[in-house]
Amino acid sequence: MQALKRSLEILKSSPALFILLLGFGLFPIYTSMADLPFWNDVSMRIMLLGMAALGLNLVLGFGGMVSFGHAAFIGIGAYSVGISQFYGIDNGWLHILFALLFCAAIGLVIGFLALRTKGIYFIMITLAFAQMLYFFFVSLEVFGGDDGMGVDRASFLIIDLWDPLRLYYLIWIALFAVSLLLLLIINSHFGVILQGIKDNESRIEAMGLSALHFKITAYVASAAICGLAGALFANWQEYVSPDIMHWSRSGELMIVIVLGGLSYIAGPLIGAIVFFLLEEFLPELLYFIAPDYSENWMIIFGPMLIAVVLFTKGGLMAIFEQLHRRITQRQNTT
């Protein structure tokens, strides 16, 4: 009870996140009333992408480490499920445990090697490790190589996932837990120091703290969160292939974070929603203007991305915040 109370208190400190999580939780009620089961599927995809982006945002937004290889951890998480099933382990809890352990272990190795470098070198070495893992899974012919492998939805002891709604709420609970965990991390001693490192690393070092230890810890945590998202993703898609760890997927994760707002706790979730809405509606919009080219929605999305980078500082969350401030100011003056 005490823990629940404290959790709710923390959630209240970030109303945007609270509203989003509530919205995801209540969404199936709406879809069942409006008879739109397809949108449950979309919502699950958004939650999974958002979860992975939340994990990446810990190092990217709060730690200032531009990791260009986090899709690899999603892949490792997903393959943890596929490969476990291949060897006859059907327990979903074990799958998640394996995903977390493997991602944390590999994240530790990559973090230890990559965090020796800075700036462009760091971006590139994380990309290189992700590519290495990508080609590793392509080379594993036993597990389907390039073509990937089919995955059955795992059973979680007494709960099995034959009903899509059960998977929906499993993902939702995971997202809730990850959000809460991140809020706790960000507001903790550790989180404050991590953000301090982002602003001024040498000052943190001068205080007698080892910046590297904090950065590696954050990196491992974010890898594990992406692994969890990957394991659930495998259950959702019922299929795993190296494609989910392609380097452009890592780029996609970054896009989601920047769209929503870097270093806002709710930013990745907003970004994930906007990203999928764009993917869904840009083709339809194009269909009205130029029906022949509705497939080519990237021609609008690309320049849009450039515009977001050039003209907005802090993504959609920053815009919301400004609007909110303006409204409250107006209320105060009247």
Partner 1 sequence: MTITLLLEQVFNGIQSGVTLFLVAAGLTLILGIMDLVFLAHGAQVMIGAYAATGFTLLTGNFYLGIFLAIPLTFASGYLLEYLIIKHLYKRDHMEQVLATFGLILFFNELIRIGFGPAALFSNLPPSLSGFVYILPETPYPVFRLIVIFIGLALAIGIYILVAKTRMGAMVRAGAANPDMTAALGVNIHMLRRFIFSVGASLAGVAGMMLAPLTVVEPGMGEPLLILSLVVIIIGGIGSVRGAFIAAVLVGLVDTIGRVFLPDMLRAFMSQSAADGAGPALASMMIYILMAVILVFKPTGLFPPKG
- Give the interface with partner 1 as residue ranges (CB under 8 A): 60, 66, 68, 113, 116-117, 119-121, 123-125, 127-129, 131-132, 135-136, 138-142, 145, 247-248, 251, 254-255, 258, 262, 293, 296, 298-299, 301-306, 308-310
Minimum separation from the CB atom of position 122 to partner 1 (A): 9
Q: What are 308's two structure tokens?
A: 């977001």
Report the nearest approach of partner 1 to the CB of residue 298 (Å): 4
CB of 299 to partner 1, least distance (A): 4
Q: Which residues contact 277 (CB under 8 A, 6 or more apart)?
A: none
Nearer to partner 1, 185 or 259 (CB): 259
Who's near 236: CB < 8 A, 6+ residues apart? Answer: 44, 45, 48, 167, 171
**Minimum Å distance from CB 280 to partner 1?**
17
Round to whole Å and give the CA distance between 130 and 48: 20
CA–CA distance, 1 with 79 (Å, rounded to integer): 36
| CB of 8 vs partner 1, minimal distance in Å | 33
SS3 240: strand
Supply the minimum distance, in Å, between the C-beta of residue 274 and partner 1: 14
3-state secondary structure of 239: strand
* Extended beta strands in 68-199, E state: 149-150, 155-156, 159-160
Task: Quote the DSSP letter at residue 294.
Answer: T
In the complex with partner 1, which residue's Cβ is closer, 202 or 248?
248
Nearer to partner 1, 115 or 174 (CB): 115
Which of residues 113 and 207 has its CB atom nearest to partner 1 in the complex?
113
Residue type, 244: I
Specify the residue, 22 or 277, whose C-beta has the smaller distance to partner 1: 277
Secondary structure (H, E, C), 69-105: CCHHHHHHHHHHHHHHHHCCCCEHHHHHHHHHHHHHH
> Which residue lies nearer to partner 1 by CB, 217 or 294?
294
